[in-house]
């Protein structure tokens, strides 16, 4: 019975919810928590991972950075750091190539979301979104900012797009893959993107339980049928 009531309140169209942020910002933890919360509310949840389900040519792109730039494979963990060299390599020709690659990813994202929304689910949760790629572009460039706005317009806009903020040093300690100075640059770029697009709900660095409550409170009005626009929480970068 709860499932029937919830479906009617959501008016049929599945919610699209995305999580973005620094590596080590706690996305996996909060995604698991929100998935459990929505399921307790009687919703069927479908999970997607941007890198696995959306990015075009992942095997070739990953192989390129391993071969050409010596990027180490694997995922960093406390006591077992990994020296990644991919998005932190800022050659001009790579930035140019990223514009084309991210446009291809955006076009595929539209197809992936359209297909997911045909499934009998009430919520789609994405681990990372196109925003994580756009934040990796040189946002100080006016042409790049126009490109970012155009891509954000063409992709499905999540009902809630979480940006999990994190202290760069703490995030790197949890997931040691990139230099700390690059992590600071990434954090500033995420905030610049959030200001540019005004589509992201920022969750500041908080204890896990408090952050969990913030995440739930942002999506709760949608479960009651209120389709309010996502809020942009101001936070100093």
Domain spanning 7-223: which CATH class is it, in words? alpha beta
| Maximal CA-CA distance, the chain | 57
Taking a C-beta distance cutoff of 8 angstroms, is the pair 75, 82 a contact?
A: yes
pLDDT string in tens for the chain (237-residue length): 233 334 434 456 899 999 999 999 999 999 999 999 999 999 999 999 999 999 998 888 877 776 777 776 777 777 777 787 778 788 888 899 999 999 999 999 999 999 999 999 999 999 999 999 999 999 999 999 999 999 999 999 999 999 999 999 999 898 888 899 999 999 999 999 999 999 999 999 999 999 999 999 999 999 865 333 344 443 434
Question: What is the pTM assigned to this prediction?
Answer: 0.86
CA dihedral 115, 116, 118, 124 (to 10 degrees): -160
Please give the pLDDT value at position 108: 98
Please give the pLDDT value at position 78: 77
Nearest in space to 237 (alpha carbons), one of 163, 187, 169: 187
Please give the pLDDT value at position 59: 83
Angstrom CA distances, 179 to 42, 85, 172, stand at 42, 10, 8
Taking a C-beta distance cutoff of 8 angstroms, is the pair 169, 32 a contact?
A: no
């Amino acid at each position: 019975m709860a499932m029937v009531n919830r479906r009617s309140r959501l008016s049929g169209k599945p919610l699209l919810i995305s999580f973005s942020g620094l590596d080590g910002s706690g996305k996996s933890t909060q995604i698991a928590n929100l998935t459990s919360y929505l399921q307790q509310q009687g919703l069927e949840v479908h999970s997607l991972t941007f890198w696995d389900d959306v990015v075009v040519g992942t095997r070739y792109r990953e192989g390129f950075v391993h071969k050409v730039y010596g990027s180490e494979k694997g995922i960093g963990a406390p006591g077992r750091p990994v020296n990644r060299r991919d998005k932190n390599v800022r050659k001009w020709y790579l930035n140019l190539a990223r514009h084309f690659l991210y446009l291809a990813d955006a076009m595929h994202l539209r197809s992936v979301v359209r297909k997911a929304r045909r499934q009998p689910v009430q919520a789609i949760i994405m681990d990372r979104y196109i925003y994580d790629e756009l934040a990796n572009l040189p946002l100080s460039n006016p042409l790049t900012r126009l490109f970012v706005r155009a891509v954000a317009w063409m992709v499905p806009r999540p009902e809630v797009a979480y940006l999990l903020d994190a202290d760069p040093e703490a995030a790197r300690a949890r997931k040691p893959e990139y230099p700390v100075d690059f992590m600071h640059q990434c954090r500033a770029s995420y905030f610049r993107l959030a200001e540019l697009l005004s589509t992201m709900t920022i969750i500041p660095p908080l204890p896990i339980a408090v952050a969990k409550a913030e995440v739930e409170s942002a999506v709760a009005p949608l479960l009651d049928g209120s389709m309010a626009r996502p809020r942009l929480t101001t936070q100093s970068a």
